[in-house]
Copies of this chain bind each other. A is one copy, B any other.
């Protein structure tokens, strides 16, 4: 969030109320100590201002911080990667070269596909059973998992084809 503008700890919190806040939120209890830590590491620096008698510390990212952030965006993801964590990163990828992001998305797609295949296997077990009604909500949550991953793959393809914008506008007809 500091990549474009210098911000206070309070501003950072505000930023997480929408946008990336869909995927990641933090409290002051984690923001302020982290800013201090990042400052010690030379990732950020701050200037103390006084705006209409109110003191504030405005944090700006350093070159080192920028470099480290770009590394973090493109590094190989841990094997237990969560969808929300992936989205939180993708949200900040606009300044990266397109091919880097596409590669990242392809890795992600593969993992999602593997998970989906596991769920298909699980479904087979359920579909064999004769007393499916007894497990209606277990089946429903499995159905949820499958549709979620299927639509996620569809979404990946839309994004890769640079068609997100069209789809976003198209959907308008469903708004209330």
Which residues in A have some Cβ–Cβ distance to B below 8 Å? 18-20, 22-23, 87, 90-94, 101, 113, 117-120, 122-123, 126-127, 132-148, 150-151, 155, 158-159, 162, 164-165, 167-169, 171, 174-176
Given A22-B145, A90-B141, A126-B168, 20 further pairs, Cβ under 8 A:
A18-B118, A20-B141, A22-B119, A22-B142, A87-B141, A91-B138, A93-B137, A94-B134, A94-B135, A94-B138, A113-B176, A117-B176, A132-B165, A136-B165, A139-B164, A140-B155, A140-B159, A143-B168, A148-B148, A151-B151
State the oligomeric state as a number of copies. 2
Indicate which residue in B135, B140, B151 contacts A147 across the interface (CB closer than 8 Å): B151
Within 8 Å CB of A159, what residues of B? Answer: 137, 140
With CB as the reference atom, state the residue of chain B lying closest to A175: B120
Contact A142 B162 (CB under 8 A): no
Residue of B nearest to A92 (CB): B137
Q: How far is the CB of A89 from chain B (nearest CB, A)?
A: 9
Closest CB pairs A-B (n = 8): A140-B164, A143-B168, A93-B137, A140-B159, A91-B141, A22-B145, A143-B164, A120-B175
| A19-B122, A151-B148, A168-B123 known; A137-B176 Cβ under 8 A | no
